[in-house]
Structure 1
Amino acid sequence: MARRKRTSQVLEKAARRAASMNSIDPNLSVGNGLTLLTFSTLIETMRTRENLYNTALSNLDKLYHEMLQTERELADMAEHMLLGVATQYGKSSVEYGMAGGIPKNQRRKGLRGELPVSSLQEPSFIASVNGNGNKNGNQNGNKAATTS
């Protein structure tokens, strides 16, 4: 998505005002160095800077899209390089692991991201799994009634 270009409402309003003042007198001067010529010069300076800014945004968008394309090419080539190492040395080789792959003999299905076995044996975990949150083993948390 392209970056939004800037438009200045102040610039548009000033340009309209300058056009209106020009109809009064092309050499209008209201004192203190405020002349229609300096006003028009500042309007053109602002217009030039706004155009430069918007052009820079367009160039930045172009560079960004070129960078993303190069990044996709790099990811594709990295994958091909790893597959090339796998083809040449095999997926169970040390070289494949050195290139960034996970050798076949080191893969375990279903164990990635799970809790370690030691945390499964903690009493608090077992109690919460069984639904026995209190020490007495009573589900509702009340003390067991003793009858005599």
Structure 2
Amino acid sequence: MAGLKMISEELELEKSLTLGSFTTSIEQIRTRLKAYNSLLAQIDVAQAELVEEEKRLKHMTSDMLTGVASKYGKDSYEYKLAGGTRRSERKRPVHKSKPVLPD
């Protein structure tokens, strides 16, 4: 911009290419960029709030399941309805035996 002003304060290359229209366009972009950055900041705040709410909900879900287990037991149908896996329905781990190598 400074270089263009050094050429002429009222530089006009064509009817629509003037130093004034160039300056106006730069200011419009700055205004839009400022608004855009403001919106991004608002989105960042909203995202952080959402993450915190999700964490609280995760803890609450765990506490609810623990409460159901405490009241009805971990092998109850109520525990299963609340999202838990009944103890009697858990798969038992299968241990593979190691092959014996001949001497």
TM-score tier, shorter chain, comes to: 0.7 to 0.9
Unaligned runs of 5+ in 1: 1-17, 115-128, 130-148
Select 2:67's aligned residue among 70, 73, 84.
84
Q: Distance in 2 between matches of 1:33 and 1:109?
A: 79
Q: Does 1:41 align with 2:10?
A: no
Runs of 4+ in 1 over 4 A off after TM superposition: none
| Aligned-CA RMSD value | 2.1
Between the aligned residues of both structures, percent identity stands at 38
Higher helix share: 2
Which gives a bigger RCO, structure 1 or 2 (Cα 8 Å, sep 6+)?
Answer: 1
Q: CA deviation at 1:55?
A: 2.2
Q: Distance in 1 between matches of 2:50 and 2:2?
A: 44
Give the TM-score normalised by structure 2. Answer: 0.77
Greater radius of gyration (CA): 1
Q: Distance in 1 between matches of 2:89 and 2:7?
A: 86
Give the TM-score normalised by structure 1. Answer: 0.56
Count of aligned pairs between the two proteins: 96
Distance 1:106 1:31, change over 3 A: closer
Deviations 1:41-60 (CA, angstroms, capped at 9, x unpaired): 00011111222222222222
